[in-house]
Amino acid sequence: MADENSTAQPYESQNPPNSQIPIDLFVSKKYEGIGSRGFLRFTDSADNLVYTVKKSAHSVKLVVDSSGDTLFSIHRISKGSWQGFRGKDEEKDLIFTVDKTLDESSRTEFKILFCEKNDDSKTELRMKGCPFNRSCTIYKGNSIVAESSLMHKLGFEKLFVTRNRFRVTIFPGFADHSLVASLVVIYFDGRRFWI
């Protein structure tokens, strides 16, 4: 949680949620010291912290905003099933469930269903991609909501692109960026090579 004496202001996006411009978030792993397991960070193009992912318990991850407020708690129910709660993990705030529908070495797919209490109760999202390539596409019907990709460089440097940092592009028309961040965390959950 945020320190009471802290003067840091919560992150405010340069682009409003209903912007017609795609938003890029950059995902990386931050280490606090020697021997620490590290935690995931989502930053904007100016390297301002937007979201942090912290472990709360063995099968619970928290998506926290830059001011320290918990936006989502993600509970791993079984090997291919998760539940997402708004804020802290209270049963009444269940927002979505995620089930893995395909798990191959080069391709995984997920189905996201929203709970009836949500305004988008009939909305269903799908995630498809290849975790090794850091590629994940989130679909709403036939429209792309968000997409992740490795950071590519031009020239000689492209041979040495680090695999622990990649970009998530959120396309116009989907307002809840923290939900997209939560789904990306679920997509790459259990991938020991970076989480």
Does residue 165 form part of some domain? yes
**DSSP structural state of residue 118:** S
- How many other CB atoms sit within 10 Å of the CB of residue 84? 26
Does residue 5 form part of some domain? no
Give the whole-angstrom CA distance, residue 166 versus residue 187: 14
Give the whole-angstrom CA distance, residue 93 versus residue 147: 27
Buried b (16+ CB within 10 A) or exposed e, 106-118: eebebebebeeee
Which CATH number does the domain housing residue 178 bear? 2.40.160.200
pLDDT at 148 over 70: yes
Does residue 92 form part of some domain? yes
74 sits in which H/E element: strand 70-78
Two tokens, residue 134: 């850091």
Does residue 37 form part of some domain? yes
Does residue 101 form part of some domain? yes
Q: Residue 81: its pLDDT value, please?
A: 93
Does residue 16 form part of some domain? no
Does residue 192 form part of some domain? no
For the purposes of burial, counting CB atoms within 10 Å of the CB of 83, is it exposed (0-12), middle (13-18) or buried (19 or more)?
middle
Question: What's the predicted TM-score (pTM) here?
Answer: 0.79
| Mean pLDDT along residues 151-170 | 66
Closest CA to 53 of 145, 188, 144, 171: 188
Count of domains observed in the chain: 1
Domain that holds residue 78: 23-187
Confidence grade of residue 195 (pLDDT, cut at 50, 70, 90): very low
Does residue 3 form part of some domain? no
